[in-house]
Amino acid sequence: MEEVRNIKNILENIDKDHFYLLTEVGKISKEINQKSYLVGGMVRDLLLGFDNLDIDIVVEDNAALLADALISKIPNCELSAKHDRFHTAKVIFNINGKKIPVDLASTRTETYEFPGALPSVQRTNSLKEDLNRRDFTINALAVSLLPDSFGNIVDSFGGLEDLKNKKIKVVPNENIFTDDPTRMIRAIRFATKFNFEIEEKTKALLEKAMSSGKFDNLIEKIRGDRVKIEIRYLFNLPNIEQAIKIFFESKVYRMVSTKLMEPESRRVRESESWLVALAFIINKINNNEQEKIMKNLQMTGDEIKIITSAFNANKLLLENKNPDSLFIYKLLKGLSNQSIEILKILCKDVACNVSPIDEYLNNTSKIKLHITGQDLISMGIPSGKQIGEILDKVLEAKINNPNMTKDDELKEAKKFLL
Ligand code: ATP
C-alpha cells in the first residue's frame, strides 16, 4: 500500500448519499466549533479497498452538541438513541428515500473496574486519548470531516504502517487484554479475516494473558453476550477452518471452556453459520458442559434448539447403523436447515455414513403426494386435524414405496378411515 495521508478521493467514490452526509457533518461541526472525525472499521476497510458504509463518528469534544445541530439543520434527520452515560448518540438521516444511521460519540477515555466489566466512561477533549482507548492500531485511525482538512488521516499509533505490513498490533496500553478480554477474540478475528499476522508484542501479551489462567472459563464470570457477539463474528468468517485453528492455537478457546478440545478434523466449510462451527467444537464434551456453555453465552432458545436437536438426532443415528429412508425422514423432517448442516458434519466426524442425509435432502424430502386434502374431503372425511394426519401417514407409506400412483395413495388413505 502506498503512503496515504488523505483519503478524500476514496471518500468521493463511496455511495454519493453517504459522501454528501459526511461533508454535511463536517460543515455543521465547524459551525458549532466541534471537530468531527470518521473512525474505526469504515476507515480501515476503505484503506484496504473494501466497501464499508458503517459510519462511526467521533466528536472532539461533545457528540450531543453535534447531534442536536444535525437534527435542527438537516431536514429529515432524526435522533434514534442517546446514551448520556456513554456520551454517545445515534442519528438517522433520510436521504433520497434511504435511511442512513450514523453513530456519534464524544472523545472519551474508559476505565475498567475488573476484566470484562462495562467501562466507566469519561469525556476528554483529546482525540489522541480517544484513539488510545481503542483496540488495534488499524482500528485507531481517524479521518477529519472538517471542510478545511476533509479526508486528512490522523494516525497516532502507526496504523497506516501496520495496514501496509499486514499486522494486528495493539494500541499502547499494558492492560489492553485484561481490561477487555473480548479484544483477544477480536485480535484473532481480524488476523483471520484480513490474513494479517498478530505482531510479536501483541502476541506475547495475548499469550501471557491466556496462560495466566485468569481468563479460563470467563463466560462463567462476565456477561457472556459480549463474548458471544465476538465468537459469532469469528465463526461467521468465510475462512472458518483458519478461524477454528487460531481459536485453539491462541488458547482463546479457554475463555469459553477449558474443556474444549480442538476437533481432529476441520470439516466446517465456508458459508455455514457460526452455530455449525460452535456445535462442531462443543460436540465432544459432555451434555452438562455443552448446556452450560450455551447458557453462559446467553444464546437464544432458538439457537440452542438448532444445536441440541442436531445432537439428539446424531445420537439416534448412531444407535441405528442401517437406517432406512422412513427412519431418516422421521428424524430429519422437523429439523431446521442449520441443524441438518450440523448433523452432516457430526456424521462425517464419527465416520458414519453420510449418504442417508444426502438421500433425504436430494430425494426423500422432495417426495410429494398426488392426493390433496380436498381428495380426502371428497371421500367424506370432515375437514380438520385428521386430514393432515392421514396425509402424513400416506406420505410415510410413499417414502417406503415411491412409485405409488394416485389410486394407490387413495387406497392407502382409506386404511386410516375410522
Ligand atoms: P467490523 O465492522 O468488521 O466488525 P469494526 O472495527 O467496525 O469491525 P465495531 O465493533 O463496529 O468493529 O467497532 C468500531 C470501532 O470501535 C473499532 O474499529 C474500534 O476502534 C472500536 N472498538 C470496538 N470494540 C472495541 C473493543 N472491544 N475495545 C476497543 N475498541 C473497540
Gap from CA of 320 to ligand 1 centroid (Å): 48
Quote the longest CA-to-CA distance of the chain. 85
Residue 27 DSSP symbol? H
Gap from CA of 157 to ligand 1 centroid (Å): 16
Mutate which of 135, 157, 183, 218 for ligand 1 pocket (most atoms within 8 A of beta carbon):
135
Residue of the CA atom closest to atom 7 of ligand 1 = 41
The HSE-up count of residue 336 (CA atoms within 13 Å, CB side) is: 15
Atom of ligand 1 nearest to the CA of 140: 20
Helices (H), 133-273: 159-164, 176-179, 182-194, 200-211, 224-235, 240-249, 253-256
Residue of the CA atom closest to atom 4 of ligand 1 = 41
| Rounded Cα gap, residues 144 and 340, in angstroms | 49
Gap from CA of 139 to ligand 1 centroid (Å): 7
Q: Taking Cα atoms as reference points, which of 325, 416, 317 lies closest to residue 363?
A: 325
Q: Which residues pair with 79 in a beta bridge?
A: 91
Those residues whose C-beta lies under 8 Å from the C-beta of residue 316, and which sit 6 or more positions away, are: 331
* Cell numbers for 16: 454519493
* SS3 state at 232: helix
For the chain, give the number of residues. Answer: 418
Q: Are 100 and 55 in contact (CB under 8 A)?
A: yes
Mutate which of 139, 179, 225, 233 for ligand 1 pocket (most atoms within 8 A of beta carbon):
139
Q: Are 373 and 391 in contact (CB under 8 A)?
A: yes
Those residues whose C-beta lies under 8 Å from the C-beta of residue 186, and which sit 6 or more positions away, are: 135, 136, 230
Gap from CA of 40 to ligand 1 centroid (Å): 6
Average pLDDT for runs of 10 along the chain of length 418? 80 96 97 97 97 97 95 93 92 94 96 85 95 98 98 97 98 94 97 98 96 95 90 94 94 96 71 86 93 96 96 90 85 91 80 72 90 91 88 92 93 84
End-to-end CA distance of the chain: 78
| Rounded Cα gap, residues 260 and 219, in angstroms | 13
Cβ-in-10-Å burial (0-12, 13-18, 19+) of 90 comes to middle
CB-based pocket (< 6 A), ligand 1: 40-41, 54, 56, 134-135, 139-140, 180, 182-183
- Name the region of 110 (left: φ>0; alpha: ψ -120 to 50; beta: rest): beta
Residue of the CA atom closest to atom 17 of ligand 1 = 40
Atom of ligand 1 nearest to the CA of 186: 27
Residue 217 has what pLDDT?
Answer: 95
Residue of the CA atom closest to atom 1 of ligand 1 = 41
Residue type, 381: I
Residue 218 has what pLDDT?
Answer: 94
Those residues whose C-beta lies under 8 Å from the C-beta of residue 181, and which sit 6 or more positions away, are: 115, 116, 209, 215, 218, 222, 255
Classify the C-alpha dihedral 236-275-346-353 as positive or negative: negative
Kindly report the number of other CB atoms within 10 A of residue 300's CB atom.
Answer: 10
Residue 418 has what pLDDT?
Answer: 62
Residue type, 391: L
Gap from CA of 113 to ligand 1 centroid (Å): 21
Residue 351 has what pLDDT?
Answer: 56
Gap from CA of 310 to ligand 1 centroid (Å): 33
| Rounded Cα gap, residues 99 and 101, in angstroms | 6
Torsions phi, psi of 342, nearest 5? -60, -45
Gap from CA of 314 to ligand 1 centroid (Å): 38
Q: What beta strand segments (E) does 61-116 contain? A: 77-83, 88-95, 98-106, 108-111
Q: Which residues pair with 81 in a beta bridge?
A: 90
| Rounded Cα gap, residues 368 and 373, in angstroms | 13
Mutate which of 44, 130, 134 for ligand 1 pocket (most atoms within 8 A of beta carbon):
134
